[in-house]
Amino acid sequence: MKNPMLEAVSLLLEKLLLFSNFKLFSSGAPGEDKARNSFYAINSFLRGDVLEVPRVHLTHYGIYLGDNRVAHMMPDILLTLTDDKKLTQKVVSNKRLLLGVICRVASIRVDSVEDFAYGAEILVNHLDKSLKKKALPNEEVAERAEQLQGPLTTYSLLWNNCEHFVTYCRFGTALSPQADKFCEILKLIIRDQRSVLASAVLGLASIACLGLAPHTALPAIFIPFFLWMAG
């Protein structure tokens, strides 16, 4: 049986990661980005290659399928609102992306290299070096990505994101070093006893400002307590 408290904490951590790292796509119009960087060395990409698009705080991943097509996991709220493929196949806007992450809905979609990269630099197979894992044959990687294409899937920034999709296709195991790094940083924060003091001070401040009530007193007591026990 799942622990409701752990599920709530997990959901909170995912939202914190989202709002601290929400730089996946630039805020400008797609045409502006493409105009600045409209050419990619598509001929140098091999079917089954991992394409990586570094952003300010995170990296977006996809699998190259050949013929200027990239399979990648993309959150999109529009998937829950319509079955019209003409609408859902349009480039995902920031609003659609954000709402899709919050509602935890995504799909494995196929876009052109230009739409996938959104004007940013593309790295090829960089994960092979950083993870130091042996990659599966490129054709098998591409076939895995194609088999997962289409159906709705539950999206999670920590447990099921674009990096999990790519590493499953490329190495046979779903991994996300980006999410792992965030969790490690969170562990350091929790283990730092100053976090207990800071949460206690904030709790007292909320009671002083909002008055003594269950919605102020309980967090002021339990948050420092759980941080103390976890540390």
Q: Just list the catalytic residues.
A: 60, 72, 162
Tokens of 118: 């959104």
- If DSSP codes are grouped into helix, strand and coil, which group holds residue 65? strand
- State which H helix or E strand residue 183 sits in: helix 177-191
Q: Would you give the distance in Å from CA 52 to the centre of its chain?
A: 13
What lies within 8 Å, CB to CB, of 65 at 6+ separation is 47, 71, 110, 142, 145, 146
Distances (CA, A) of 48 to 112, 153, 174: 15, 22, 16
Q: CB–CB of 51/122 below 8 Å?
A: yes
What is the DSSP-derived secondary structure letter of residue 174?
-
Distances (CA, A) of 119 to 30, 38, 39, 186: 8, 7, 9, 32
| R_g of the chain, CA atoms, integer Å | 21
Tokens of 209: 């400002």
What is the DSSP-derived secondary structure letter of residue 70?
E
As a whole number of angstroms, the distance between CA 79 and CA 70 comes to 19
